[in-house]
Amino acid sequence: MLQDSPADDLPLCDVQARQDTRNMPIDKVGVKRIRHPIVVKDRSEGSQRTIATVNMYVNLPHQFKGTHMSRFLEVLAEHDGAISVENLPDLLGKIQQRLNAEEAHIDLEFPYFISKKAPVSGVPGLLDYDVRFTGVLSGDRYELTLCVTVPVTSLCPCSKEISDYGAHNQRSQVTVTLRCKKFIWVEEVIQLVERNASCELYAILKRPDEKYVTERAYDHPKFVEDIVRGLAVDLDEDERVLWYTVESENFESIHNHSAYAFIEGRKER
Amino acid sequence: MLQDSPADDLPLCDVQARQDTRNMPIDKVGVKRIRHPIVVKDRSEGSQRTIATVNMYVNLPHQFKGTHMSRFLEVLAEHDGAISVENLPDLLGKIQQRLNAEEAHIDLEFPYFISKKAPVSGVPGLLDYDVRFTGVLSGDRYELTLCVTVPVTSLCPCSKEISDYGAHNQRSQVTVTLRCKKFIWVEEVIQLVERNASCELYAILKRPDEKYVTERAYDHPKFVEDIVRGLAVDLDEDERVLWYTVESENFESIHNHSAYAFIEGRKER
Amino acid sequence: MLQDSPADDLPLCDVQARQDTRNMPIDKVGVKRIRHPIVVKDRSEGSQRTIATVNMYVNLPHQFKGTHMSRFLEVLAEHDGAISVENLPDLLGKIQQRLNAEEAHIDLEFPYFISKKAPVSGVPGLLDYDVRFTGVLSGDRYELTLCVTVPVTSLCPCSKEISDYGAHNQRSQVTVTLRCKKFIWVEEVIQLVERNASCELYAILKRPDEKYVTERAYDHPKFVEDIVRGLAVDLDEDERVLWYTVESENFESIHNHSAYAFIEGRKER
Amino acid sequence: MLQDSPADDLPLCDVQARQDTRNMPIDKVGVKRIRHPIVVKDRSEGSQRTIATVNMYVNLPHQFKGTHMSRFLEVLAEHDGAISVENLPDLLGKIQQRLNAEEAHIDLEFPYFISKKAPVSGVPGLLDYDVRFTGVLSGDRYELTLCVTVPVTSLCPCSKEISDYGAHNQRSQVTVTLRCKKFIWVEEVIQLVERNASCELYAILKRPDEKYVTERAYDHPKFVEDIVRGLAVDLDEDERVLWYTVESENFESIHNHSAYAFIEGRKER
């Protein structure tokens, strides 16, 4: 793609800057699947370094033939090692300016780590979660969407009730996507999800911990429906949350397919 | 998950049929990532057999604790070997009925094959495309969404113009998603995309064919913006199309990231 | 890549046929990630149609600059709709001949379906397995390697024993790779794996079936070590098997990582 | 899996420590797909932080029923934030000791970043590479295997020669796996690969840079065969290298499949 920038004053023609006559504006144009180190604010440690997959887009008015792809990477490079939720609006403002765009869009997807103590032995270990921040700046209106995927244990209430002993259980992935008017920590969303599962996961479990999580899950059976409903009730009650969706995918231990449930919050409806 | 069905008259309690008191309806609940053989209507051959990944959901009113997951699979099994676009409404009707649901939803994603002749030698070969059908039946209102991903060659106009010789080119994935009032063949969507690329792909190319596609791409340079704009103009003109999105991801041969563009059709806006 | 074939008598030069002076033979050169419909022999139905991902390679002597890639696809196209284990040697012989190669190699990876009846209700449903055939023809010596991945339930013996009730269980993927002197059905390998798991999986389970599989798994707890050991013992006893590896990956329901075990058969050691 | 550790003196039975009577030793048993932050030695910066996917295994003698999975995670946690190539032998020694194993095995796969200046404008940008370290400690014999995947541009010599203008080119992934007697920097392997491609990739290219890489690739056409042969010649000449494999996968811009070549070094043969 065109590799021009304001700095260039070379004789090479600027193909992208030419007129386009099709009268067709483009909603999003930019770069996708860039891997880049970032720093994320962390409630316990202050901040943590991780690796993000980054997408950056702008809108393109109908009259311009192309956008200037290299400028996205230049803005990213200028923020090198210091990209975080806090400065996303600033970064998006630079993209608007450098690409002469009305709207700028960024997605950051990355693994996020939390040190958790095993429930009985207290042995600490790092658990990994998938987090995505999506920031959109339209003119001077900024909107951030937070998405957190939390792995948990789900244990089937039906299997437990109809069986003389045991109950099938499995790893589930619960995803919460939300927009809020007041800052919400990734850690808060994770705790909300873990409270609504049959049991939370740990990196390290000693024998007494394994006994605990086994019995904890058996004592708290949850259908995929229960997980999303419990979360939806909690998110409805949280006044900081403006809009949300919750979904759970249970990788059934008795089938080769998943059970799935999805709720979109009705606050904005 | 609950494994009940109308056929059952066993003493085992029906946990899912119980009341739920959280007053929280669920938008979608069901089964995901089922692999299943299907038959798809094929313009040249009549039909072709392929393997789909299937998701099936219903909505769940607030008063019911759970849905009956096994019934989705039973409906799928009853259509075994004969699932196609034509009978999706019938299949969705059965799901509505068997799960006592107002709304039924199905996704079918599968590879679709077309035999293409090489442009000069005429040697035939199969090219594979990714297709997704999404059918939703709400009450008696049926809506089908067709999504086709077409791999093509894109050649960069800027690289061609500023370079004394050569031009970087790469494989791109162009995805068209649409809803229409009159039937549109998958083959028609594929041809529309291939006409808007620098060159279409082939499974087999003999030497004179390779000369042809190399020069064809060089003679038809396209930015990622050009590909989506050309498609949007064509889809705006097609009166059968009610709504569409077009996107192109170019796996840049000079970068380790992609160039990307997206347009949502404005017909319904 | 070069797009020449014996049929060509065009004036276009054959770059690949030229001498290479680096004195460096190539072990494998060819085409990868081709999706293609195939027919596979099926013990109950006679045959089933599925979609394979195909890799095809030959060795290249040091003196030749390149191989003729299009010829692989031509051989594949000639077998269109009739590729199966039975005619792999024939297909590889054609590749040897058409590419003037000493050694020809093919991989076929595909989903394979078996209709299974639920253990109590007897309701039938299709379960999907991943199968890979690798065929190598060196001169006139043919070797076939069969690889089958079977999803099963594993239930943890430690969790069961130390807990007052319940036991964590999860979906596991067990992979058996083998070479044999006498034909072995894919179905035989699948049954061997399912017998060594805590419980096998089903597409459809009614309530009495769910009770059965829950209690079956609880009555047959297996560590990842138990699964691979049981399989290794069985494969050691099967005189048709010349060489094998077995591995199991358990997607732990109490962790966000997998437990894993691997054994290579010692028959050939 | 069993969650015991030396620290435990709880009354809970140690199921794994029991005798196994099947007389079947296990080659590898352990944990897989753990995501964990690591620090990697970096030639220009001293070190860089990244996120690894980690597998850890030990061998298990025939007489023991199971291994103690939690101990792998404990050893990993003890090295938290300080895992690097330098201390892999130390980490593996701890695993041997804590799991009473003869052999310990670790895989670390992670994205690795290098700051590169654009070839003409000199604008700096980060390029990402995939690196895997595999360390095995058998008794006191340590062996490290380094694997680096480098994305590059490949331009087809045949397409260039037979066409009046242009030449198809694409992104290729070149993978070098090697064992050496003297330390080799990841950066050295990357440079070796980039020298053997039609052109190397950059994160940021301004217009004069794009002109440069376009013409550079056109001036250095390479078949997939040329890339692996050039690398094999260079690795044969490097006396530090004891064993290697090289492979290249070209994501052909004129096909929907890849071209592929593979050479195993003959030093140890």
Per-residue model confidence (pLDDT) at position D81: 62
Structure tokens at C191: 């049954």
- Distance from the Cα of A30 to chain B's closest Cα (Å) equals 5
Q: Judge whether D41 lies within some domain.
A: yes
Minimum-distance CB partner of D204 among A12, A74, A211: A74
Q: Judge whether A19 lies within some domain.
A: no
Mean pLDDT of A47-63: 94
The pLDDT of residue D83 is above 90:
no
Burial class for B112, CB neighbours closer than 10 Å (0-12, 13-18, 19+) = buried
- How many independent structural domains does chain B possess? 1
Alpha-carbon torsion, ordered A248, A254, A256, A257, to 10 deg: -30
CB contact under 8 A, C206 and B3: yes
Mean pLDDT of D45-69: 92
CB contact under 8 A, A15 and B161: yes
Per-residue model confidence (pLDDT) at position A83: 78
Strand runs (DSSP E) across B5-90, as ranges?
Answer: 26-42, 46-60
Say whether the ipTM exceeds 0.85.
Answer: yes
Q: Identify the weakest region by mean pLDDT among A187-191, C46-50, D27-31.
A: C46-50
Minimum-distance CB partner of B214 among D167, D205, D257: D167
For residue B254, how far is the Cα from the chain centroid?
A: 29
CB contact under 8 A, B259 and A33: no
CB contact under 8 A, D207 and A128: no
Mean pLDDT of A202-209: 97
Q: Which residue has the higher pLDDT, B8 or B158?
A: B158
In three-state secondary structure terms, B182 is: coil
Minimum-distance CB partner of B111 among C10, C35, C205: C35
CB contact under 8 A, B223 and A12: no
CB contact under 8 A, B57 and A230: no
The pLDDT of residue A6 is above 60:
no
Interface of A with D (CB under 8 A): 2-5, 7-8, 10, 12, 14, 34-37, 48-51, 70, 73-74, 77, 80, 111, 113, 123-126, 128, 203-211
The pLDDT of residue B10 is above 60:
no
CB contact under 8 A, A223 and B2: yes
Minimum-distance CB partner of C257 among D3, D33, D263: D33
Best residue of C129, C154, C168, C202 to probe chain A, by most A CBs closer than 10 Å = C168
The Cα–Cα gap between A153 and A217 comes to 7
Q: Please report residues of B whose CB lies closer than 8 A to that of D168.
A: 153, 169, 210, 213-214, 217
Q: Identify the weakest region by mean pLDDT among B184-188, B253-257, D17-21, D176-180.
A: D17-21
Q: Please report residues of B whose CB lies closer than 8 A to that of C33.
A: none
The pLDDT of residue A187 is above 70:
yes
Residue in B12, A225, B245 with CA at minimum distance from that of residue C210: B12
Which residue is closest to A58 within chain B, CA to CA?
Answer: B261
Mean pLDDT of B201-218: 98
Per-residue model confidence (pLDDT) at position C33: 98
- Distance from the Cα of C82 to chain A's closest Cα (Å) equals 29
In three-state secondary structure terms, D241 is: strand
The pLDDT of residue D1 is above 80:
no
Mean pLDDT of the residues in chain A: 92
Domain of residue D214 covers: 26-266
C187 backbone φψ class: left, alpha, beta (φ>0; ψ -120 to 50):
alpha
How does pLDDT run across D147-186, given as a tens digit for each residue?
Answer: 999 999 999 999 999 999 999 999 999 999 999 988 899 9
The pLDDT of residue D94 is above 60:
yes
Structure tokens at C63: 């003196």
Interface of B with D (CB under 8 A): 127-128, 151, 153, 155-156, 158-159, 162-171, 199, 201-203, 205, 207, 210-211, 213-215, 217-218, 251-257
CB contact under 8 A, D66 and C223: yes
Residue in B120, C187, C221 with CA at minimum distance from that of residue D66: C221
Name the DSSP class of D51. Answer: E
Neighbours of B257 (CB within 10 A): 26
Q: For residue B9, name the pLDDT band (cuts at 50, 70, 90).
A: very low
Q: Which residue has the tokens 């002597």?
A: C61
Per-residue model confidence (pLDDT) at position D80: 66
Q: For residue A11, name the pLDDT band (cuts at 50, 70, 90).
A: low
Per-residue model confidence (pLDDT) at position A258: 98
Q: Which residue has the tokens 């994935």?
A: B173
Task: Give me the percent of chain A exceeding a pLDDT of 70.
Answer: 94
The pLDDT of residue B204 is above 70:
yes
The Cα–Cα gap between D232 and C28 comes to 13
Structure tokens at A147: 């998405």
The set of residues, in sequence order, having a beta carbon less than 8 Å from that of A109 and lying 6+ positions away, is A52, A53, A54, A130, A131, A132
Per-residue model confidence (pLDDT) at position A81: 62
- Distance from the Cα of A88 to chain B's closest Cα (Å) equals 21
In sequence order, what are the beta bridge partners of D174? D150, D248
The pLDDT of residue B57 is above 80:
yes
CB contact under 8 A, D170 and B253: yes
- Distance from the Cα of A169 to chain C's closest Cα (Å) equals 6
Per-residue model confidence (pLDDT) at position D266: 75
CB contact under 8 A, A211 and C163: yes
8 A C-beta contact, residue C142 and residue C90: no
- Distance from the Cα of D231 to chain B's closest Cα (Å) equals 20
Q: Please report residues of D whose CB lies closer than 8 A to that of A80.
A: 126
Per-residue model confidence (pLDDT) at position B2: 42
Which residue is closest to A221 within chain C, CA to CA?
Answer: C166
The pLDDT of residue B5 is above 70:
no
Q: Judge whether B171 lies within some domain.
A: yes
In sequence order, what are the beta bridge partners of B47? B41
CATH number at residue C232: 3.10.270.10
Best residue of C1, C48, C110, C204 to probe chain B, by most B CBs closer than 10 Å = C204
Per-residue model confidence (pLDDT) at position A80: 66
CB contact under 8 A, B252 and A1: yes
Per-residue model confidence (pLDDT) at position A255: 97
Q: What is the largest CA-CA distance in chain A?
A: 81
The pLDDT of residue A7 is above 60:
no
For residue A249, how far is the Cα from the chain centroid?
A: 16
Question: What backbone phi and psi angles, to 5 degrees, belong to D141?
Answer: -90, 120
- Distance from the Cα of D268 to chain A's closest Cα (Å) equals 37
Burial class for B93, CB neighbours closer than 10 Å (0-12, 13-18, 19+) = middle
CB contact under 8 A, B203 and C125: no
Interface of A with C (CB under 8 A): 127-128, 151, 153, 155-156, 158-159, 162-171, 199, 201-203, 205, 207, 210-211, 213-215, 217-218, 251-257
Mean pLDDT of B10-25: 80
Best residue of D235, D245, D260 to probe chain C, by most C CBs closer than 10 Å = D260
The Cα–Cα gap between C130 and B125 comes to 26
Mean pLDDT of C55-74: 93
Structure tokens at D87: 């201390």
Minimum-distance CB partner of B256 among D128, D167, D252: D128
In sequence order, what are the beta bridge partners of D60? D26
Q: What is the DSSP string of B103-124?
A: EEEEEEEEEEEEEEE-TTT--E
Residue in A238, A237, A230 with CA at minimum distance from that of residue A263: A230
Q: For residue C179, name the pLDDT band (cuts at 50, 70, 90).
A: very high
- Taking CA atoms, A213 is separated from A206, A259, C152, D71, in Å, by 11, 22, 22, 18
CB contact under 8 A, A207 and D124: no
Q: Judge whether C203 lies within some domain.
A: yes
Mean pLDDT of A41-52: 87
How does pLDDT run across C85-133, given as a tens digit for each residue?
Answer: 888 999 999 999 999 999 999 999 999 999 999 999 999 999 999 999 9
Task: Give me the percent of chain C exceeding a pLDDT of 70.
Answer: 94
8 A C-beta contact, residue A246 and residue B25: no
The Cα–Cα gap between D156 and D133 comes to 32
Q: Judge whether B8 lies within some domain.
A: no
Q: Please report residues of D whose CB lies closer than 8 A to that of A8.
A: 206-208
Which residue is closest to A116 within chain D, CA to CA?
Answer: D77
Minimum-distance CB partner of C201 among A166, A201, A255: A255
Per-residue model confidence (pLDDT) at position B43: 84
Interface of C with B (CB under 8 A): 2-5, 7-8, 10, 12, 14, 34-37, 48-51, 70, 73-74, 77, 80, 111, 113, 121, 123-126, 128, 203-211
The pLDDT of residue A3 is above 60:
no
Q: For residue B80, name the pLDDT band (cuts at 50, 70, 90).
A: low
The pLDDT of residue B1 is above 80:
no
Mean pLDDT of D11-22: 80
Q: Judge whether A8 lies within some domain.
A: no
Mean pLDDT of the residues in chain D: 92
DSSP H helices in A168-268: 186-195, 207-219, 224-237
Which residue is closest to A225 within chain B, CA to CA?
Answer: B66
Q: Judge whether B233 lies within some domain.
A: yes
How does pLDDT run across C216-262, given as a tens digit for each residue?
Answer: 999 999 999 999 999 999 999 999 999 999 999 999 999 999 999 99
DSSP H helices in chain C: 69-78, 88-98, 157-162, 186-195, 207-219, 224-237
- Taking CA atoms, D24 is separated from C158, C183, C198, D59, in Å, by 20, 26, 19, 11
The pLDDT of residue D110 is above 50:
yes
8 A C-beta contact, residue D137 and residue D93: yes
Q: Judge whether A16 lies within some domain.
A: no
Per-residue model confidence (pLDDT) at position D262: 98
Per-residue model confidence (pLDDT) at position C9: 43
Which residue type occupies C126?
L
Residue in C29, C93, C98 with CA at minimum distance from that of residue C61: C29
Mean pLDDT of D58-74: 92
Minimum-distance CB partner of C29 among D31, D33, D261: D261
User: Chains that contact A by 3+ CB pairs under 8 Å?
Assistant: B, C, D
In sequence order, what are the beta bridge partners of A52? A36
